[in-house]
Amino acid sequence: MKALVLFLALLSFAVILANQPWDRQPAPTTPGSSPTSQANWLPWTPDKQLPELQQRLAQVEERLQKGLQEASLAQRVAETEQKLAQMAAIPPASLQMDNGFVLVKKGDSNWKLTDIFARLRQFRQRVTFAKPFAQPPRIMLGITLIELPAEKLRLQTRAEEIDSNGFTLVFESRSESRIEEMQVDWFAFADRAAAQGTQAR
C-alpha cells in the first residue's frame, strides 16, 4: 500500500514538472481566441555575454563622469568671467603718490644762521615731484638718519610752500654746534577724484 502511494506521488510530481513553462514561448493569439495567462520568465544570459555587458556599463559610467567634469569646468569658467566683470567694474585707484628722501650734511650751503642769539639755524631746499599732482598733496616727513654732537639739540622738520609740482623742505636746529648729517624721507599723496571735483566747481 505504501509503495502504491509513493508511486502515485512521484507520478503526480513528474506531471507537474512537465507542465511548467521552462522554455516556452507565449502562444500566438488568434482573433476570437481568449489569451491564456502564462508566466513571464527572464531570458537566460550566457556567461559569454557578461564581459560585453560590463564593458558597456563601464562606457556609460565614463561618459557620465566626463559630462560631470565638463559641467564643473563650465561652472568654473562662468565664475571666473563673473569675477573678471566685477573687477572691471571697480574704478581705478584715485590716489596719486610720490616719495623720496633728502640727505643733508654739515657743509651744505642751504644752511643759514637765522638767529645768532638763539643759535637758530635753518635749512631750506626745494623738492620737485616726479610728476605734478592734480592738486597740492599732503606731505609726511620722517627722519631716518641723524648724527649729533654730544650736547642738547632741538630739531624741527616741516614742509612749506606745497603746490602741485613740489614743496620746500625746512629743517630748523637749535644748538651750539651744527648737525653733522641728517636724512629725511618724504611721502606725498593726493586724491585725484577730489581734485576733479574741485576743478568741476
55: pLDDT strictly greater than 70: yes
Place of cell 631746499: 125
Residue that wins the pLDDT comparison between 20 and 8: 8
Q: Is residue 40 part of a domain?
A: no
User: For 119-166, what is each residue's pLDDT tens digit?
Assistant: 888 889 999 999 999 889 999 988 877 777 666 777 888 999 999 999
Q: Is residue 131 part of a domain?
A: yes
- Are 115 and 160 members of one domain? yes
Q: Is residue 199 part of a domain?
A: no
* Band (70; pLDDT cuts 50, 70, 90): confident
- Are 132 and 171 members of one domain? yes
Number of domains in the chain: 2
- Are 64 and 139 members of one domain? no
DSSP 96-154: EEEEEEEEEETT-TTEEEEETTTTEEEEEEEEE-SS--SS--EEEEEEEEEE--SS--E
- Are 85 and 99 members of one domain? no
- Are 76 and 160 members of one domain? no
* pLDDT of 132: 92
Q: Is residue 101 part of a domain?
A: yes
Residue span of the structural domain in which 119 resides: 95-192
Which pTM does this prediction carry?
A: 0.47
% of the chain with per-residue pLDDT over 70: 66
Taking the C-alpha atoms of residue 190 and residue 99, their distance in angstroms, rounded to an integer, is: 12
* pLDDT of 94: 75
- Are 143 and 180 members of one domain? yes
- Are 116 and 149 members of one domain? yes
